[in-house]
Structure formats: C-alpha cells, structure tokens
Amino acid sequence: MDGINIDIEQEVNETSPEYYALTELVKETTDAFHREIPGSQVTFDVAWSPACIDKRCYNYTGIADACDFLFVMSYDEQSQIWTDCIAKANAPYLQTLVGYEEYITMGIDPKKLVMGVPWYGYDYVCQNLSKDHICTLFKVPFRGAPCSDAAGSQVPYRAIMKQVNSSLSGVLWDEVQKSPFYEYKDDLGHFHQVWYDDPRSISLKAAYVKNRGLRGIGMWNGNSLDYSREAVAEQQTEAMWQALTP
C-alpha cells in the first residue's frame, strides 16, 4: 500500500464542528501514513470549484496544507443548475478552468492540484428538444438547486462510442462549452441528448494543466474505456490515454 485517497462528499457548513474536524482528520491521516509508510501519499478529492459546490463548504486551504495534493473532480459540474434547466456539458471548458483559478486565488499551490477529467458522460431525456439543440430537462432538485444532472444518467465512454455513430445527429460540438454531444430517439419515441468528453475536449484541459503548472491530470475512471481487441476500440482507447499528455 502506497497511500490513500479520501473522497468525502457530504455537506459541511463553514460554521460547523465538522468543518474543523474534517481538516484535522486529513492531517492525522497524512501524519500517520507518512510515519508508518515512508514515501506514501494521502490525497483528498474536492469539487470542481471551492465555492461550496453541493454545500460542501470545506476548509480547502487547510486540507491542501494537510495532505499531499488535492484531486479536483472536474466533472458533474451540472450537479446544481441555477439557471435554465437544460442539458449542458459534464465539464464545460471555461467553467472548469475558473474552478482552478479560484483554488489558486485562495493561496493553494498549483503543484498541489491534480485535474480529474471524466471518462463518462450524461444521457438526458429531453422534455423538449429544439431545432437549435436545446434540450429542456425534467426538474430534479439537488441540495437547494431547482435542477441538476440527476435528471440524466451516467454513461461510460465505451458505451457512448458504440452509440454515437448510429445516433440521429452524429457527433456535434458546442464551441462555447468546448464539448461534444449527440442526440438520439429511444424505442418509446423520447429524444435524448448525450454530453461527454472525448480526446478533443480533454486535450484542451490537459494543455491548461501543463501551461498553468498543475501537479498533473487523472481521470474518473479507467474502467470506462473499451479494452477489447477490436481495432476501432483500441484506437479510441489509445486516443483517450494520449489526450492526457499534451
């Protein structure tokens, strides 16, 4: 065992005892691992932004100081939709980058930040799908927000690749969010819109990691790809891995 990753996503209020207890837990865990297993690492998963996402108001600077590095989960960025209840990218480019700048502005060293990118997407059933690709969602509240990505279901990249070419739209690209998506109709006649990340969108984020001097990049999760011996699958899988290293 060479370390441990801590992923606690419960709500925490800034004025609660848990705010300080969580920081102390991370510090005690890090001290114990470093003492008992020299060279080991203790890491902590944080939301894409420190702005109390999903009511996770953690002591981010204290936790960053207490552990070896933060794994920033730059996905599920539509967990709380406060504006129009429509389908959007899992990890919009500019929104993702804003999150890192917020962490850095707090005083967290870029070398303490690892970018986590999604190797999965969201399949949304559209209440209405307009000709200009606006997919109106059924409202599913989450932690105070009136709408959320809980209206959709998570789909691994390997499944997306098997469906996209036979979809109604084929691959579409949103230039504002810098994300691919596509649309299809199910057997019941319902229209769906699927948002995901691919080598093109991930490469843009990986370039930011390199240029901004972050510690590195990772993904959630490695099992989302197709590791079969099929030629097309091998090419798709290799492209996703290569996208992490600009």
We report the CATH number of the domain holding residue 181 as 3.10.50.10
Classify residue 123: in a domain, yes or no. yes
Residue 69's pLDDT is 98
CA 222, chain centre distance (Å):
13
Q: How many domains does the chain have?
A: 1
In this structure, is residue 122 part of a structural domain?
yes
> DSSP label at 155?
E
109 in a structural domain: yes
Neighbours of 92 (CB within 10 A): 21
225 lies in some domain = yes
pLDDT in tens, 115-134: 999 999 999 999 999 999 99
Structural domain includes residue 68: no
For residues 125 and 151, give the distance between their C-alpha atoms in angstroms, rounded to a whole number.
8
Which of the following is catalytic: 9, 11, 28, 175?
Answer: 9
Residue 221 lies inside a defined structural domain of this protein: yes
pLDDT at 193: 98
- Cα–Cα distance for residue pair 177/205, rounded to 1 Å: 12
Is residue 30 included in any domain, yes or no?
no
State pTM to two decimals.
0.96
Instruction: Reply yes or no on whether 9 is catalytic.
Output: yes
The four Cα atoms 59, 55, 13, 20 give a dihedral, to 10 degrees, of: -30
Measured CA to CA, the distance from residue 35 to residue 146 in angstroms comes to 46
The 8 Å CB, 24+ separation contacts for 14-21 are 14/52, 14/57, 19/57, 19/58, 19/59, 20/59
- The reply to whether 49 falls in a domain is no
pLDDT at 246: 77
Residue 203: which domain range? 74-244
Residue-by-residue pLDDT tens, the chain, 246 positions = 899 999 999 999 999 999 999 999 999 999 999 999 999 999 999 999 999 999 999 999 999 999 999 999 999 999 999 999 999 999 999 999 999 999 999 999 999 999 999 999 999 999 999 999 999 999 999 999 999 999 999 999 999 999 999 999 999 999 999 999 999 999 999 999 999 999 999 999 999 999 999 999 999 999 999 999 999 999 999 999 999 997
